[in-house]
Amino acid sequence: MFHEQPEDSQTPRAGTADSPPLAVGILTALLTGGLIWYARTAAFAWDEGYHLVAAWLMAHGKQPYIDFVFPQTPVNAYWNSFLLRIFGESWHVPHTAAAILTAGAVALAASHVYRRLPASRSWRAAAAATTLIVMGCNTAVVEFGSLQAYGLCLLMIVAAYVLTVNAAEARGNRLSLSALAGFCAGVAAASSLLTAPVAPVLLVWSLVMNQGGTRIRQFLSFSIGVVIAFIPLLRLLIKAPHPVIFGFLQYQLLYRKVEWDGAAIHNLGEVLSWADSSQAVLLVLLAAAGIVFAKQRAAREPEQTNSSLKSELYLCGWLVLAITVHLLTARPTFSRYFLLTVPFLSIAASAGLWEVTNRLTTRPRPWLAASILCAITIYGLGASLFEQRDDLAWKDLEQTAAKVKEVTPPAASLLADEMVYFILGRTPPTGMELEDSHKLTFGDAEAKALHVLPRRKLDLMIRAGAFDTVEMCDDDEIDRIGLNAFYQKSVTAGTCKVFWKWGKSAAPAEP
**pLDDT tens digits, residue range 194-248?**
999 999 999 999 999 887 668 899 999 999 999 999 999 999 999 999 999 999 9
Q: 120-173, pLDDT tens digit by residue? A: 889 999 999 999 999 999 999 999 999 999 999 999 999 999 999 999 887 778
By 3-state DSSP, what share of the chain in percent is helix, strand and coil, each rounded to 5? 70, 5, 25
- Is the separation of the CB atoms in 115 and 360 below 8 Å? no
pLDDT of amino acid 271: 81
| pLDDT level of residue 293 (50, 70, 90 thresholds) | confident
Nearest to 32 by CA among 125, 146, 123: 146
Give the confidence band of 179 by pLDDT, cuts at 50, 70, 90: very high
Question: Could you tell me the pTM of the whole model?
Answer: 0.92
DSSP 68: B
pLDDT at 118 over 80: yes
Model confidence at 119, pLDDT cuts 50, 70, 90, reads: confident
Whether residue 450 has pLDDT greater than 60? yes
Beta bridge partners of 232: none
Query: Helix crossing, 75-87 with 49-59: angle to 10°?
Result: 60
Say what percent of the chain tops pLDDT 70: 93
Alpha carbons 130 and 4: distance in angstroms, whole number? 21
Is 60 exceeded by the pLDDT of residue 16?
no
Q: Cα separations (Å) of 368 from 169, 336, 363, 364, 492?
A: 33, 30, 11, 9, 52
Q: Quote the DSSP letter at residue 378.
A: H
Rounded CA-CA distance 490/488 in Å is: 7
CA distance 474 to 496: 8
The backbone region for 68, taken as left when phi is positive above 0, alpha when psi lies in -120 to 50, beta otherwise, is: beta
Q: What is the Cα–Cα distance from 291 to 283, expressed in whole angstroms?
A: 12
Distance CA 160, CA 165 (A): 9
Q: What's the distance, CA 134 to chain centroid?
A: 17
User: CA of 318: how far to CAs of 6, 287, 326, in Å?
Assistant: 33, 12, 12
pLDDT of residue 5: 43
